[in-house]
Copies of this chain bind each other. A is one copy, B any other.
Amino acid sequence: MAMDTSAKKAVTQIATMEEDFPQWYTDIVKKAELVDYSPVKGCMVIRPNGYAIWEGIMGFLDTKFKETGHENVYMPLLIPESLLEVEKQHVEGFAPEVAWVTMGGSEQLTEKLCIRPTSEVHFCDHWSKTVESYNDLPRLYNQWCSVLRWEKTTRPFLRTMEFLWQEGHTIHATAEEAVEETLRMLDIYRQCYEDYMAIPVIPGRKTEKEKFAGARETYTVESMMKDGKALQAATSHYFGDGFAKAFNVRFTDKDGKLKNPHQTSWGLTTRSIGALIMVHGDNSGLVLPPRVAPTQVIIVPIAFHKEGVLEKAAELESSLKKAGIRVKTDKSEKSAGWKFAEHEMKGVPIRIEMGPRDIENNKCIAAIRYTGEKRELSLDNVEEEIKNLLAEIQEGMFEAARERMNTRIYTAENLEVLKTIAAEKPGFIKAAWCGDQECEERLKDEAGVSSRCILEEETPAEDAVCVCCGKKAQHTILWGKAY
């Protein structure tokens, strides 16, 4: 089947990522019909193709959360100003970027209410009223909702005023348990990215400068986009008992003493869809890993007005469906080339082409989205073949993404080398650091890189020195330019 190139061009008229990466990203977001702009500056309309991806991510995470004993709840959208102000660092971090409700109906409110930028304060307030003894612990809660942060510069999925997320909030009798929980949830995020979205991530701990407002420690999984820039993919925070003290959350422990519990929170947002685009996408559009793809297989019957073609396609669709594969058939009147381009743009992992001659020979063609390769498959055992192919694609996409990331992680021994790499080579840089915020800021100013995370398992050598100031090194840091 020859490709109808003019049709392909009309559908896929997008910038190439080599010439204009940001424009390429925006084009995919629009042309794959993931998002539409809305009349509210900085807020997006998430269209069915985009939302279906989010439903998949929610499904994966919600199952994992429940398997690890978490329960879902719902806290109010609005937060009274006085409640936001209870924890000092927290309000300093968030107050400048919230939307304020000052009127209800036609009435002026006596106290402003902000739209939640995150919900720690509601969870703490609730626990202060409902937790009494060690029997009530741990409380392992999660909430699916939207939050709002008053951002000036926004981009669909990556940075929007309003976004969808889950926010997990837990309290525990001991610090050990809380730290364990923080890391357990970080690992579930790693699984969600690596096993489900085929996106390799690097886990680590945030520096003092980069951590969450009010947290004692923030852990992160960092991912690398095709342009070499970093995306903070999800974070998990350990709070110690700071919030509990501020909100007077207390429990009577086994020893009869009144104590403050230790707290965590963790979140993953619709930003993850931006990562999917920038890690797997290409110049024909979105490329979805099979586990994520709302449609895993699109059947495009060729010359389908000829006798028997549509019947055979329907038969194939039904047998793939029975095998648990998410499959659709495109029976629209568009040209085959047009259809190919459309489904490529939307990132469908496998396209099956099947025309009269294929049917005669009891076979079909499977076109693999992420490599462009075409394979001839016998119709005899096609369910099994497609299942194996989907698994192969999932694995292959992950390996390819890991390879792309690993080959672009550099090491810098001194400032000059670091600056040269930062200027010339897109990617991450590993370099030792003394722990001083001044050096961190200097690297930002002079090399344009920020610390993505502390690589906790890569302790610097005894004699290693800070890449910036030359003092004794405390940590190995992953540096990069970030979204």
Chain A interfacial positions (CB closer than 8 Å to B): 36, 38-40, 43-48, 51-52, 54-55, 71-80, 83, 96-106, 112-113, 115, 122, 125-126, 129-130, 141, 145-146, 148, 150, 162, 164
Contacts and interface: CB of A to CB of B under 8 A. Distances in A.
B162 A76 contact: yes
A45 B96 contact: no
15 contacts: A43-B77, A45-B74, A45-B75, A45-B126, A46-B74, A46-B75, A47-B73, A48-B71, A52-B71, A76-B162, A77-B162, A96-B105, A96-B106, A98-B104, A115-B115
A105 B161 CA distance: 11
A98 to B, nearest CB: 7
A36 B123 CA distance: 11
B130 A36 contact: yes
Contacts of A162: 76-78
A167 to B, nearest CB: 14
Contacts of A122: 38-39, 45
Contacts of A43: 76-78
A122 B36 CA distance: 11
A167 B388 CA distance: 39
B150 A105 contact: yes
Q: How many copies does the complex hold?
A: 2
A118 to B, nearest CB: 15
Given A52-B71, A77-B146, 18 more contacts: A38-B75, A38-B76, A39-B125, A43-B76, A45-B73, A45-B75, A48-B72, A51-B73, A52-B72, A74-B146, A76-B162, A96-B105, A96-B106, A99-B101, A100-B101, A100-B104, A101-B115, A104-B150
A169 to B, nearest CB: 12
Nearest to A140: B48
A36 B150 CA distance: 29
Contacts of A78: 40, 43, 99, 148, 162
Contacts of A98: 104-105
A48 B74 contact: no
A79 B38 CA distance: 10
A138 to B, nearest CB: 13
A38 B125 contact: yes
A99 B78 CA distance: 10
Contacts of A115: 77, 101, 115
A96 B107 CA distance: 9
A212 to B, nearest CB: 19
Nearest to A148: B77
Contacts of A76: 38, 40, 43-45, 162
Given A73-B45, A77-B115, A102 B105 contact: no
Given A78-B162, A164-B74, A39 B104 contact: no
A151 to B, nearest CB: 9
A126 B35 CA distance: 11
Nearest to A270: B74
A100 B164 CA distance: 21
Nearest to A72: B51
Contact of A39 (B38, B51, B83): B83
A197 B115 CA distance: 33
Given A52-B71, A73-B47, A100 B99 contact: no
Contacts of A73: 45-48, 51
Contacts of A45: 73-76, 122, 126
Contacts of A75: 38, 45-46
A83 B77 CA distance: 22
A141 B51 CA distance: 11
Enumerate the 9 nearest inter-chain pairs by beta-carbon distance, A residue then B residue, closest first: A48-B71, A43-B76, A100-B103, A46-B74, A104-B150, A105-B150, A102-B102, A40-B76, A99-B101
